[in-house]
Amino acid sequence: MLTGEENTVRTKLPTLNLAASSRGGRPLICGHRGARIHAPENTLAGFELAAQMGADLIELDVRLTRDGVLAVIHDATVDRTTNGTGRVSELSWDELQALDAGIRFGEAFAGQRIPSLPEVLDWAHGVVYLAVEIKEPAPLQPGVAERIAAAIRDAGMADQVTMHHIQQPDITVVRQVDSNIHVLCDWAAYLSDPRETIQRSLAIGASGVIWDWRYSTAELIAEAHAAGLAVYAADCPPTAEGVREARLRGVDILEADDVKAMAEAISASAS
What is the b/e burial string over 160-181, where b = at least 16 CB atoms within 10 angstroms of the residue's CB?
Answer: bbbbbbbbeebbebbeebbeeb
Q: Which CATH class is domain 4-11+21-64+116-269?
A: alpha beta
* 139 preceded by a cis bond (ω within 30 of 0): yes
Q: Which of 38, 74, 125, 182 is catalytic?
A: 74
Give the total residue count for the chain.
271
Is 164 noted as a catalytic residue in this protein?
no
Average pLDDT over residues 157-164: 96
Question: Of 38-52, 150-164, 182-196, 257-271, which gets the smallest average pLDDT?
Answer: 182-196
Q: How far apart are the first and last CA of the chain?
A: 23
pLDDT of the residue at 92: 98
pLDDT tens figures, 186-225: 876 667 788 888 998 888 889 999 999 988 999 999 999 9
Residue 3 confidence (pLDDT): 42
- 32 catalytic per annotation: yes
Give per-residue pLDDT as tens, 78-132.
999 999 999 999 999 999 999 999 999 999 999 999 999 999 999 999 999 999 9
Binned at pLDDT 50, 70 and 90, residue 259 comes out as very high
Check: CB of residue 173 under 8 Å from CB of residue 146: yes
Q: What is the DSSP string of 64-129?
A: E-TT--EEE-SSSBSTTTSS--SBGGGS-HHHHHTS-SSTTT-GGGTT--PPBHHHHHHHHTTT-E
Annotated catalytic residue, options 32, 38, 165, 182: 32
* CB distance 42 to 61 below 8 Å: yes
Please say whether the beta carbons of 134 and 62 come within 8 A: yes
Q: What is the DSSP string of 208-228?
A: EEEEEGGG--HHHHHHHHHTT
Q: What is the pLDDT of residue 225?
A: 98
Q: Where are the chain's structural domains?
A: 4-11+21-64+116-269
pLDDT of residue 11 exceeding 90: no
Please tell me the least confidently modeled range out of 116-130, 131-145, 237-251: 131-145
What number is the average pLDDT over the span 46-56?
A: 98
Closest CA to 120 of 7, 252, 234: 7
* Residue 58 contacts residue 130 (beta carbons within 8 Å): yes
